[in-house]
Structure 1
């Protein structure tokens, strides 16, 4: 999501006119009243946030705070977005009406209502609709599109954002997230859709075009997950799992049981879907405190492994015993490196391919090389990981085995052309079981990999600047790097730089022009970019150090992490956002 305003900004009169026009086209009495109250109060600052810009449809679809106005998620926005998508499909995809659209939603407070709006619009446009009438994981919806050969899929979800958010995620060609220029074409169709109140609707309960997704799709999904991972005989493990009030619990329990994991303990306070997320303020397993309840239960049952999904179950977090009676959370990079090693060791694929986002650890490439696999880096986002996988499968005959990003996203095989926290959870449990059969632990294996390939550490530094003014600050910070880069950062010499905003014609399509700059350092690299879904500037630093045979892993890692944090601080200061 991004926002654009003129240099001087719209006047109060402009904002009042926009608000009045939006109210006239809004089918929802509550959001009409909400915006009218701001209009009556003459609250220019709040009107600027609500109607000064609109939620911009991009490759990630839409995501924003639920409320009234063009820059919020609401029924009118969902209705217009669905009509624009429907028009785009009917105009560009052969057989789109018959192939239709799959619709799913997560457990957020407004998700079912928004999903019903989408179903009504698609059917009203003459598209067949297959939908999940109850909350379901995002990867299952993407899978359903693939096996039903639908023209597109829509998931109403805000993934791991706070409870006041919701979103609209789109899958299209190849049952994968959209990439440019499809996003721009859909955005243009949305712009042309007209007022929400004028958009034709069908009754989701009465239309012959609407039906639930067949129940056997779930069985097929679980069967394909089993075929995509290595067979890992070994002892049963005591595993603690939390869906973080999300929708992953049911399918994770089924998948784990079918894989032979029967000692699975769900965190009771977080087991049921609840879009209010009552035990966590920020339902992201990366956030401090989000995993506390799971770790407490793990200590009670002496768990071998702790696993968590985010609320729409497309990400996987994990924790393992630390050897001192506690548990240590693994980073997304550590999970990615471990699964890269595990899945490549267990594959018989010809010309294996693994793909990671460019902000993920460079260690991934070293691990892949040991198995003779081709490792590819892409721009951030699984849309690019899957686009690269499909292109390299077609052009070079490669076999995609695994993809990951440092933000806890993993995709095991080609079951889902997006990140899938359910498939990743069972694959990671299999890794732990195969090690247990040899008398080793996940932590043992991670240390072996560090000693073989070098100890890579990763530090991420995020700077939040909310609102339109904040986005302008972030843009100005990135502009600094158009004309100059630092000579050194915290003692690390800057050896070279690569500005991804230019030179795209010399790179593959999954490394297209992007608002990001990479700096090669003496012992690693640093990258800086704005977030694609939040008002943040993100800095990623990866440093490598040797781990001597007699050297303690934790002590050496902490030393490197402090150096990486200093690099990030210096880079933030250089662009004026310290």
Structure 2
């Protein structure tokens, strides 16, 4: 059995129908989603319909000219922990081999004229009901929250609004210019919430209506961005993915802890390039923690996963429903947390301060080097391997790990990890999807008192800037 979904990009519906025709001709019972729907609905359908395979035709937050597909394995085709998760090796190379075999032949792939099942629109309702059931109105009854929501011209708006409304969050204002799907994404230069300027219209709307928070989904709604007014500047600011990961992680701990006793066996996980804060949050509450390679295809395969996140705005708050990042279920729990804090006279930034006081200030940053020649990526990585840096930000290097060698906990990947004496961490790796080198930085600074936080942040930023300069120098930039 297979299920196929599609977004509103150019020809996504055409590619989806052709996929259904190929599967049906091959004798596979095939379901087609009834309309343009978010990626999390497709990922949910893989598990709920007990399918061996799921295909989502989407290029997510890539430029308008792109399209692509995400492949999920379920049922008998997947390992236990990864049922309904995106593919990893060896499935990727096996699929690529089949593609190459067809490309090299002069034959054609058979297409069925019909025979697949177009699902009833109720599949979206099933997803909405399942996600809405995650809310805990008895423990977190507050619903006084003014939300501005944008799908960035993607397909997540209606589904996210239904979930928030069903959970009691009725004061939701859409960004009018971005509310409807549009394959050309006309109001943004790049349809990714992380890109500069992508949330400008959302901030304008939030200021007009006096919103408490902004929630933005990327075009296929598997990621979620959160913004609020930063008390230090009085301006709207998008929280970093690591900040939201820490907030959601702490909120999940609170939801899963009864009278101070945590649920045994539950595991919190994040990618190796994400902040180390989640590990401290989990350990303090008695939960297990795991680090994985970059990408939710790895995070979602962690056994006994309770919560997982990656710094690129991906959060999994309900692995039993969607074994992948899900920007809509994450939006619901973000709203639940923000409303609860507001009822107590606090903000998301207050909660971040409390986490910093307890676990230390974790300041993260990253930068990328885009190249026109892929050979330059190898050249920069070889330069670091042959001439490893001696220090970052004035702190001597204590440990450097070539991730291509693999370890007991991580399979091999092209990347380098550095840890300095003061626990500064630098990770450098080539992007898996774009022609660029990505560098991830994190410093950890203890904080003794809340009054020290502003000065500590300022000093930490100076140190992080120095680390950034050292990384650039090591790369020969």
Provide the TM-score with structure 1 as the length reference: 0.77
Q: Does 1:512 align with 2:411?
A: yes
Give the conservation status (yes or no) of the 8 Å contact 1:354–1:373.
yes
Give the conservation status (yes or no) of the 8 Å contact 1:404–1:419.
yes
Q: Does 1:489 align with 2:403?
A: no
Deviates further, 285-294 or 110-119? 110-119
**Match 1:539 to one of 418, 429, 439:** 439
Q: Tell me which residue corresponds to 2:317.
A: 412
Task: Name the count of aligned residue pairs.
Answer: 458
Give the secondary structure class of the aligned counterpart of 2:412.
Answer: coil
- Deviations 1:217-241 (CA, angstroms, capped at 9, x unpaired): 2222222223335442114211101
In 2, Cα distance between the equivalents of 1:314 and 1:306? 16
Structure 1 unmatched ranges of 5 or more:
1-98, 394-399
RMSD: 1.7
Q: Tell me which residue corresponds to 1:49.
A: none
Q: Tell me which residue corresponds to 2:260.
A: none
Structure with bigger helix share is 1
Q: Does 1:131 align with 2:32?
A: yes
Give the conservation status (yes or no) of the 8 Å contact 1:540–1:568.
no
Q: Does 1:443 align with 2:371?
A: no
Give the secondary structure class of the aligned counterpart of 1:387.
Answer: coil
In 1, Cα distance between the equivalents of 2:107 and 2:192? 36
In 2, Cα distance between the equivalents of 1:267 and 1:562? 36
Q: Does 1:499 align with 2:391?
A: no
Q: Where do 1:310-329 residues align within 5 Å?
A: 310-323=218-231, 325-329=234-238
Give the conservation status (yes or no) of the 8 Å contact 1:306–1:320.
yes
In 2, Cα distance between the equivalents of 1:381 and 1:371? 25
Deviates further, 549-558 or 349-358? 549-558
Q: Tell me which residue corresponds to 2:256.
A: 347
The alpha-carbon deviation at position 517 of structure 1 amounts to 0.8
Q: Does 1:370 align with 2:284?
A: yes
Counterparts in 2 of 1:124 and 1:300: CA distance versus 1, 3 Å: same
- Deviations 1:350-386 (CA, angstroms, capped at 9, x unpaired): 3321110010001111111121111111000000001
Counterparts in 2 of 1:196 and 1:458: CA distance versus 1, 3 Å: farther
Give the secondary structure class of the aligned counterpart of 2:102.
Answer: coil
- Deviations 1:173-219 (CA, angstroms, capped at 9, x unpaired): 2111111111111211222224586111112xxx22x1112333222
Q: Where do 1:85-96 residues align within 5 Å?
A: none
- Deviations 1:101-122 (CA, angstroms, capped at 9, x unpaired): 1111111112122222212222
Q: Where do 1:49-448 residues align within 5 Å?
A: 99=1, 101-172=2-73, 173=78, 174-194=83-103, 195=105, 198-203=108-113, 207-208=114-115, 210-231=116-137, 232-323=140-231, 325-348=234-257, 349-388=263-302, 392-393=303-304, 400-414=305-319, 415-448=321-354
In 2, Cα distance between the equivalents of 1:263 and 1:311? 22
- Deviations 1:277-310 (CA, angstroms, capped at 9, x unpaired): 0000101101110000001111111111110000
Counterparts in 2 of 1:285 and 1:220: CA distance versus 1, 3 Å: same
In 1, Cα distance between the equivalents of 2:455 and 2:226? 22
In 1, Cα distance between the equivalents of 2:197 and 2:452? 27
Deviates further, 193-202 or 315-324? 193-202
Deviates further, 194-203 or 279-288? 194-203
In 2, Cα distance between the equivalents of 1:515 and 1:146? 32
- Deviations 1:154-188 (CA, angstroms, capped at 9, x unpaired): 11111111111111211112111111111111211
Structure 2 unmatched ranges of 5 or more:
258-262
Give the conservation status (yes or no) of the 8 Å contact 1:137–1:247.
yes
